[in-house]
Amino acid sequence: MATSNPASLSLRLRQLKLPAFVEHHEELSVRAEREGLGFQDCLAHLVEIELSGREERKVERLRKRSGLPSDKTLANLTLEKLDPKVRRQLQALCEGGFVERTENVLAFGMPGRGKSHVISAIGHELVARGISVLWRPACHLVQQLLAAKRDLKLEAELRKLDRFEVIVLDDIGYISQNREEMEVLFTLLAERYERRSVMITSNLVFSKWDRIFKDAMTTAAAIDRLVHHSIIMEMTGESYRADSAKQRKGEEVVVSGS
């Protein structure tokens, strides 16, 4: 069997795209001689390190591509402020089973109730499990689709979006709601129906969705597709922002009175 010097071996490992092997093979060789490790033990150890590194790099790539808000994670979500039912739903959704079942997640509530934070936190947990997620304000994604349609590239744009197992449409109620916007949004939802998952936040209840989709028939069709396989989260309680403002005001009073 031909032998090679360490520099040559490292070069070949780089050509094979095995960075963990490059980084650890020399120290493991020394350890093997010291501890009497067999070839298979060394190889298995290097493979485990390589696989772990690949998974970490994959998750990092998915996180960068996702556009998820970095400050809206499960770690900084105040769970005590959530309704007990929502907390139970949150735990189950973070496990990702709904993605395998191609179900949708719809979070409703008045402004400031934590809808975006909860949905973003779920998105981060999905990414950590290797699931591809795309987060976009609904109005931005609709404009992206409109631009593709005007350039006669809507079908190609939809194929790109189909690569994401989950698309998050944040604040769907704030779309400016002209007919062209309604049409591309409906097309996106119809394309993903029973194939890919959608997560949506909205401060508009279903009875007011005719403001988005303009006519009763399209509104009913859109709701039917979303609700057919869905989990609905009802975000109630006091506004997070109002509560934070009260806390800041109370701190200011304490400081000024101290």
Mean pLDDT of 129-157: 96
Radius of gyration in angstroms for the set of CA atoms belonging to the chain, rounded to a whole number:
25
Q: Name 232's bridge partners.
A: 106
In this predicted model, which residue has the larger pLDDT, 230 or 47?
230
What is the rounded average pLDDT for all residues in the chain?
A: 86
pLDDT reported for residue 253 = 45
Mean pLDDT of 173-196: 88
Segment 227-242, tens digit of pLDDT: 999 999 999 877 765 5
CB distance 86 to 233 below 8 Å: yes
Burial per residue of 195-210, b for 16 or more beta-carbon CB atoms within 10 angstroms, e otherwise: ebbbbbbbbeebeebb
pLDDT reported for residue 1 = 45
Q: Which of 40-44, 101-105, 112-116 has the lowest mean pLDDT?
A: 40-44
Segment 198-230, tens digit of pLDDT: 999 999 989 888 888 888 899 999 999 999 999
- Distance of alpha carbon 30 from alpha carbon 204, whole angstroms: 64
Residue 170 banded pLDDT, cuts 50, 70, 90: very high
In this predicted model, which residue has the larger pLDDT, 27 or 233?
233
In this predicted model, which residue has the larger pLDDT, 51 or 120?
120
pLDDT reported for residue 246 = 55
- Distance of alpha carbon 210 from alpha carbon 240, whole angstroms: 28
Segment 62-110, tens digit of pLDDT: 999 999 999 999 999 999 889 999 999 999 999 999 999 999 999 999 9
CB distance 212 to 172 below 8 Å: yes
- Distance of alpha carbon 170 from alpha carbon 138, whole angstroms: 5
Which helix (H) or strand (E) segment holds residue 135: the answer is strand 133-137
Is residue 153 predicted with pLDDT exceeding 50?
yes
pLDDT reported for residue 254 = 43
Q: Is 67 exposed, middle or buried (0-12, 13-18, 19+ CB in 10 A)?
A: middle
pTM for the full predicted model? 0.79
pLDDT reported for residue 256 = 52
Is residue 252 predicted with pLDDT exceeding 80?
no
Alpha helices in the chain (DSSP H): 6-15, 19-35, 39-66, 84-94, 97-100, 115-128, 138-150, 154-161, 179-192, 210-213, 216-228, 240-257
**Which domains occur in the chain, in start order?**
6-62 (no CATH), 67-243 (3.40.50.300)
